Amino acid sequence: MTRTVGIVGGGHTKWGAREATYKDLIQEAGKATFDAVPDVTPDDIEGLFVGSVQPERFAFQTHVAPMVAELLGVSVDSMIARTELACASGQAALRYAWLAIAAGQIDTALVLGVEKMNLPKKHMPEAQSTMSNVTDREFDGVNGLNAPPYFAMIAQRHMHEYGTTREQLAMVSAKNKTHAAHNEYAQFQKEVSVDDVVDSFPLSPPLCLFDCSSITDGAAGLILMSEEKAREVTDEAAWITGSGQACFAGNSINNLPSMSAWPQATTAAEQAYDQAGIDDPVKELDVAEIHDCFSISEIVEYEDLGWVEKGEGGQFVEDGRSELDGDIGVNPRGGLLGCGHPLGATGVSQALEVFDQFRGDVPAKRRVPDPEVGLIHNLSGSASVHSVMTLERGRP
């Protein structure tokens, strides 16, 4: 029999092109996390899970989980690990912490996601080439199939098959960047219009600069506890109710099942919905943080997470159904497009946002009205892996 697990709090660094080092970001997020949950100290942590994608190349450091423990004064006596699943590394760390507590192995865990991606100018070519490691470097990476061209192909195909428009893509970015304007931790804090997106620098048609997430430094942390322990600390936990993952094809773009759909997302979402008892996600979900690494991503995800029929994602955003007061408030923290995307930290930040939305602890201009049920979603690699987690305010 598994146990119920709750998120009891967390903390965040400012995201952006930071002067801070990888170690600085760890300490900044760690302090913010423990400050947010004063009844939990480093001495209470039994398990530590660190989401970080490529510290070996970005920070020239491996074996980072013990380093995080050392920097935060945590003596782990039960479980410690670093997770690497590209852009889903933070959610992977969160998932493993949840599973460890649910299985009764530990009662209290710290999850920390961190990435230092902006290097000194002389090292930036290495930082940029590092991103191609996420694809199959021998085949896709060396031939230029890194993220912008790949997602541009997804956009082109989706537009060809379903009539998705350039303006609908821009609506996603304008919405999310405008939310980020009211998020003190976001990399970009300026409201953006649809015309601003369309008129931004063209990168890989139809995608322009404002359709793309950025290279970002940042970290975020969460504390998870068993239900018994959580109730000793807070009466406002975010309870994890379901989780799903699916991987089809592997890394190579050649082997993906589609260039306009991600059935992996559908499988992962169905697993999470089934565990959480969600029958109609559009009616039952109130807030969602989904992986808008590029504007087209969010549109495809509306469809493949089961919110609308295939091809209707563009209309979903055009009709305002993903606005804060729409069917589901999507990416109220600003998403990856507005907040930035420090790879290993993104999934952790998404879960912290849902927790804060449940408590109403966000600025009114980006607050979802009275949310009870939330979802976080990450894709990773060339969208070959999808991870989904559901959370609720009122359960268990």
d(CA 215, CA 258): 27
d(CA 111, CA 65): 10
Q: Which of 179, 341, 377, 386 is catalytic?
A: 341
**pLDDT tens, per residue, the chain with 396 residues:** 589 999 999 999 999 999 999 999 999 999 999 999 999 999 999 999 999 999 999 999 999 999 999 999 999 999 999 999 999 999 999 999 999 999 999 999 999 999 999 987 766 677 777 777 777 777 787 777 788 999 999 999 999 999 999 999 999 999 999 999 999 999 999 999 999 999 999 999 999 999 999 999 999 999 999 999 999 999 999 999 999 999 987 778 888 889 999 999 999 999 999 999 999 999 999 999 999 999 999 999 999 999 999 999 999 999 999 999 999 999 999 999 999 999 999 999 999 999 999 999 999 999 999 999 999 999 998 899 999 999 999 877
CATH superfamily of the 5-121+215-233 domain:
Thiolase/Chalcone synthase (3.40.47.10)
d(CA 39, CA 368): 28
Q: Which of 87, 208, 212, 293 is catalytic?
A: 87
Active site residue 341: yes
What are the structural domain ranges in the chain?
A: 5-121+215-233
Active site residue 208: no
d(CA 356, CA 150): 33
Q: pTM for the full model?
A: 0.97
- Quickly tell me which residue has 């379901």 as its tokens: 242
